[in-house]
Amino acid sequence: MTEKAGSKTVLIAMTGGVESTVAAYLLKKQGYKCIGIGLQLFADGEESGPFADIAVLDLNKIKKICQFLDIPFYAVNATDIFADKVLDPLVGRILSGQTFEPLVYLNAVLLEILMEKAQKFQTTLVATAHYAKVLKNQKTGSYELFVANDLEYDQSYSLAKLEQRHLENLILPLSEIRKKEVEKIGDLIKVEFLPRIKTKADHIMHDPRMANLVEARAPRDLKRLGTIYDYGNEGSICEHKGIHHYYVGQNNLQFDKKSEIQIDPLKQVISIVSYKGNIFVDYPTKLKYQHALVVQFSASANLDMSVPILCFVKMAPKGEKISCRLHLKNNNMALVEFDEPRSGLLVAGQFLVFYNRQLDKGKVIGSALVEVGGMFSEFSYNTLPEKREGKDDEKEDTYDQSADNLDRMRF
């Protein structure tokens, strides 16, 4: 969103990092009256798991940054709404053997809180330090989300769940500049930034600390124990200590070196049957998908939903944009058809973001959640490799799905 500053008031989310500090600094330079807002996401002493790297645990340091910038600062206790909108669904998905994009939902919570607090200061304008753009369509008057100038750090994926009412009031001061420029400006602001720990995990859902979060928030009877099976030869390998310690796509399932039980590090978790506590492993080279049934499809403004759409889909915050065809259905459902079979698995609950272009100047045209992915035909679909005859009832647990889904996703 582009907005003339004048003497207008804007509430900006402050995290204590260099980005939010520079964003507030730039807004002041443009003439805005800034008010810093910091969110408390966890109660004192509460288990935060991998969120410890992103949650603000010391609001006093943010207050000092705001004092240096000469802007008011207000702390907001967001523990209840964060638990309701992010933590509880997150734990539920993990215990169901599915996945989740907590930062996408956290950003939606952040905007809701900022907009609610903005009314108390008699303004509608809010700001964050995300690398993305919001532009107004001059023909329709609606607002659309675009990728940032700095493609390497673009965060449009994480903002894709925002609605029109959010976008029309959102200012993104870092939309036109690159991260290196932000860091140079940050060097000129003589404050102590809160450090951000760089985890070795490729995704927050794959962080080993996530199991600690589930342990702290889930009842004992839901942290189901069970057995790890070899999907290829149908044999059981060993018992496990709870499905919340595993995720689809996980590899290097190594146990204590002294243990006689070892799993080939090239094998990975390909299916979790949560109600039985069963986990299946196999070589990922066998796995293919070309289609995905998605639900909760949210379209951008001005999207023509009457015809199939050639577009590009991003399946993770740092993922590549992959060419696909989007067939929009009723009840906010859609079928994603990739140009050719792809290796790997699509996991239920995976958040997909669709773009109109693969590279720069692209805009978000929609987002959705994966319900099921695999190799589809007109009358059947498989999410895992075909098995030889004689398989017991576990076969149904791993890849056979209800025909109801097929009826909903007809080509």
Other beta carbons within 10 angstroms of residue 20's beta carbon come to 25
The residues with which 352 forms a beta bridge, in sequence order, are 368
The residues with which 338 forms a beta bridge, in sequence order, are 324
The residues with which 77 forms a beta bridge, in sequence order, are 40
Nearby residues of 172 by Cβ (< 8 Å), 6 or more positions away: 1, 127, 128, 129, 130, 131, 132, 133, 134
In 3D, which of 103, 117, 110, 175 has the Cα closest to residue 143? 175
Angle made by CA atoms 266, 395, 403, in degrees to the nearest 5: 120
pLDDT in tens, 294-319: 999 999 998 988 899 999 999 999 99
What mean pLDDT is reported for the chain? 88
- Residues 335-355 have a mean pLDDT of 94
The pLDDT of residue 389 is 43
Residue 111: pLDDT band (50, 70, 90) is: very high
Does position 411 have pLDDT exceeding 80, yes or no?
no
Identity (one letter) of the amino acid at 83?
A
Identity (one letter) of the amino acid at 261?
I
Hunting for tokens 């577009």 — which residue is that? 311
In the structure encoding, which two tokens stand for residue 75, read together?
């702390």
In the structure encoding, which two tokens stand for residue 220, read together?
């004992």
In the structure encoding, which two tokens stand for residue 148, read together?
């940032």
- Residues 31-40 have a mean pLDDT of 96
The residues with which 143 forms a beta bridge, in sequence order, are 136
The pLDDT of residue 3 is 52
- Residues 370-374 have a mean pLDDT of 93
Does position 231 have pLDDT exceeding 60, yes or no?
yes
Does position 57 have pLDDT exceeding 50, yes or no?
yes
Query: Looking at per-residue confidence, does 253 or 106 come out higher?
Result: 106
Q: Which pairing describes strands 321-328 and 334-343: parallel, antiparallel, or unpaired?
A: antiparallel
The DSSP output letter for 395 is: H
- Residues 198-207 have a mean pLDDT of 87
Report the predicted TM-score, pTM, of the whole model to 2 decimal places.
0.90
Does position 379 have pLDDT exceeding 60, yes or no?
no
Burial degree of 390 (CB within 10 A; 0-12, 13-18, 19+): exposed
Q: How far is CA 234 from CA 4, 281, 395, in A?
A: 65, 10, 9
d(CA 388, CA 390): 7
The pLDDT of residue 255 is 65
Residue 367: pLDDT band (50, 70, 90) is: very high
The pLDDT of residue 310 is 96
Residue 34: pLDDT band (50, 70, 90) is: very high
pLDDT in tens, 248-261: 999 888 665 556 67
The pLDDT of residue 116 is 96
d(CA 149, CA 331): 35
Helix (H, G, I), strand (E, B) or coil at 210: helix
Does position 189 have pLDDT exceeding 90, yes or no?
yes
pLDDT in tens, 68-94: 999 999 999 999 999 999 999 999 999
Percent of the chain with pLDDT over 90: 72
Residue 321: pLDDT band (50, 70, 90) is: very high
Other beta carbons within 10 angstroms of residue 48's beta carbon come to 19
Mind listing the domains of the chain with CATH numbers?
9-188 (3.40.50.620), 224-285 (no CATH), 287-408 (2.40.30.10)
The pLDDT of residue 401 is 45
